[in-house]
Amino acid sequence: MIIALKQGTGGEEAERFASAMEKRGLTVHVSRGETQTVLGLVGDTSSLDPEAIAAHHLVAKVMRVQEPYKRANRLFHPEDTRIDVAAPGGVHGIGGGRLGIIAGPCSVESGEQISAVAAAVKAAGAGFLRGGAFKPRTSPYSFQGMGCEGIDMLCAAKKETGLPLVSELMEIHQLEVFDNVDIIQVGARNMQNFNLLKELGRCGKPVLLKRGLASTVTELLMAAEYIMAGGNEKVILCERGIRTFETFSRNTLDISAVPYLKQKTHLPVIVDPSHATGIAGLVPAAAKAAVAAGADGLIIEVHNDPENALSDGEQSLTPEAFSDLMKTLKKYADLEGKTVS
């Protein structure tokens, strides 16, 4: 961090300011110009708040050189993190050369529905089954999910197929029924629910953290940092489209966020082409683009009867369309030197 002091700051004042910074465990390099003194702070500056420092009466300007996230930062962890999940059907990985494919309906609607979709996505080569039981819906009058019953249905589908489960948790007390859920999804609307993130930092399960509807990638990384700072290093980041002025699609897939995140963090980065586009016909192209951009996985909505789905039918692939897409994705994965998992 670089701190420029106001012109005319006296030598003694500058010294006092510098030694206050040293007391925080940082090394301070002082350069005195003719009119201005500039301090270079070296060390772990992640706990410093640039805005608070800028408010000091001696400070003219504060510039961060290092990112405010530490545990998620590739700088301190150059190799890719791989998150492996062991399920009855074997171990499936996301990141570190594994292209994790998560597929299933937006919502669990019945035992028959989730069983049928689980069997279909497994046959097509998916490594993980998704299904929402607790649903964050824009309207309180829309289907809210089957709750605990939905989790039981997912668990039955896991038994039948051996696929590990991914499901969204909206409140921490729901963790009680997530024993058999392998990856906990934090939805876009909860990306900055800091209390929830802190609690998930204390749980040992991998967390799939979706980017907020209008969040920057740095905010996404800081949200991951909340979970990691609590001791849970197993975080998977998900680009799921952001709000822009464009209206043809539900959201705008920020494809360049994928290589950018891959540069900045060692955590696996996956893409949700279903919520990013909102249109089933656009999902295959967006999925391929994501893999070509370096994504470590995909989360794709698949429904056996999209027209009658209780949520997100318009963006759900049929099992046949998903199976066709998987054939192409395997070729894309080969080109990227990754194994579909």
List residues near ligand PEP by CB under 6 A: 106, 132, 136, 187-189, 210, 240, 272, 275
**Single-letter amino acid, residue 322:** F
Judged by beta carbon, residue 247 or residue 263, the one nearer ligand PEP is 247
Scan residues 312-341 and list those touching Mn ion (CB under 5 A). Answer: 312
Q: How many residues does the chain have?
A: 341
Among ligand PEP, Mn ion, none, what does residue 71 contact (CB within 5–8 Å per kind)? none
Judged by beta carbon, residue 182 or residue 312, the one nearer Mn ion is 312
Judged by beta carbon, residue 67 or residue 296, the one nearer ligand PEP is 296
Report the DSSP beta bridge partners of residue 252: 242
Among ligand PEP, Mn ion, none, what does residue 188 contact (CB within 5–8 Å per kind)? ligand PEP
Judged by beta carbon, residue 106 or residue 120, the one nearer Mn ion is 106
Among ligand PEP, Mn ion, none, what does residue 240 contact (CB within 5–8 Å per kind)? ligand PEP
Picking from 311, 281, 317, 324, the residue whose alpha carbon sits closest to that of residue 299 is 317
- Please state, in angstroms and rounded to a whole number, the distance separating the CA atoms of residues 71 and 57: 32
180 touches 125 (CB < 8 A): no
- Please state, in angstroms and rounded to a whole number, the distance separating the CA atoms of residues 338 and 291: 10
Number of residues that bind Mn ion (CB under 5 A): 2
Scan residues 85-114 and list those touching Mn ion (CB under 5 A). Answer: 106
Among Mn ion, ligand PEP, none, what does residue 164 contact (CB within 5–8 Å per kind)? none
Q: What is the smallest separation between the CB atom of 107 and Mn ion, expressed in angstroms? A: 7
282 touches 113 (CB < 8 A): no
Judged by beta carbon, residue 39 or residue 101, the one nearer ligand PEP is 101
- Please state, in angstroms and rounded to a whole number, the distance separating the CA atoms of residues 100 and 330: 11
Encode burial over 49-69: b for 16+ CB neighbours within 10 A, e otherwise: ebeebeeeebbeebeeeebbb
Give backbone dihedrals phi and psi of 238, rounded to 5 degrees, phi first.
-130, 120
Report the DSSP beta bridge partners of residue 3: 39, 62
Q: What is the smallest separation between the CB atom of 243 and ligand PEP, expressed in angstroms? A: 11
Judged by beta carbon, residue 94 or residue 310, the one nearer Mn ion is 310
Report the residue closest to ligand PEP, judged by CB. Answer: 187
Scan residues 219-278 and list those touching Mn ion (CB under 5 A). Answer: none
- Which secondary-structure segment (H or E) carries 221? helix 217-229
* Residue 168 touches Mn ion, criterion: CB under 5 A: no
Among ligand PEP, Mn ion, none, what does residue 210 contact (CB within 5–8 Å per kind)? ligand PEP
Q: What is the smallest separation between the CB atom of 203 and ligand PEP, expressed in angstroms? A: 19
246 touches 254 (CB < 8 A): no
